[in-house]
Amino acid sequence: MRIALRAAVIGLADLLAGTMASRGAPAEPGDGPATALASPERFAGIADPAARSAAIFTELGRVLTHPRCTNCHPAGDRPRQGDGARPHQPPVFRGVDGHGLPALRCASCHGPANFAPAGMPGHPVWHLAPTEMAWEGRSVAAICAQIKDPARNGGRSLQDLVAHIGDDSLVGWAWAPGRGRSPAPGTQKRAKALVEAWIVSGAACP
């Protein structure tokens, strides 16, 4: 009986796998239907370059407005936590350098990597984004205008943004945030491709 039941379960799993394959598997790990980011090619049918560029950034905006990003780009000096963007507990604050106040630095609790037993996120340079890069609560259009402005994006050029969003390991944490936190949509690789395509098409804002 157990052997028959196990065979049936395996058969069902194989059937489901075959069905998914026939429909087309996700292009990248973690880029399934519920969390997928559209590829730049998806917008090729938009003839007007400015409209296409704005549409690409709108798609990228799904990442930039996700709690994994906005929690570390808060409107004030206190970071947010979790998918509900609740105020950080215990109460901590930005400090002069974004690494916390002298009495309670970010590294006092956050280690170099996620600590699964406690559900504690971590990274070697865990810190808040600079105040001028705060975009919690802002529209995608407002974030677009801000992210293009070197005075409000950490002094970065458009090409610098490609490396920052696409290669920076702290930004990459958003796609591997550990237990109890939903990852940002898509993958960092796909986000990088969207930034590149947005720039090539004119870096227009929605």
Residues 203 and 55 sit within 8 Å (Cβ to Cβ): no
Cα dihedral 70/76/81/86 (nearest 10)? -110
Q: Using alpha carbons only, give the angle 6, 8, 14 rounded to the nearest 5 degrees.
A: 105
* 122-179 pLDDT tens trace: 999 999 999 999 999 999 999 999 999 999 998 999 999 999 999 999 999 999 999 9
Residues of the chain with pLDDT under 70: 1-35
Cα gap 26→29, rounded to integer Å = 7
Q: Which helix (H) or strand (E) holds 49?
A: helix 49-64
DSSP letters, 52-103, are: HHHHHHHHHHHHHTSHHHHTTS-SSSS-EETTTTEEPSS-----TTSSEETT
Q: What's residue 20's pLDDT?
A: 29
Q: What's residue 154's pLDDT?
A: 86
Q: What's residue 26's pLDDT?
A: 34
Per DSSP, helices labelled H in 89-178 are 140-147, 158-167, 169-172
Cα gap 65→138, rounded to integer Å = 8
Q: What's residue 128's pLDDT?
A: 94
Q: Using alpha carbons only, give the angle 174, 179, 181 rounded to the nearest 5 degrees.
A: 45
Q: What's residue 48's pLDDT?
A: 97
Cβ partners under 8 Å of residue 168, min gap 6: none
Q: What's residue 22's pLDDT?
A: 29
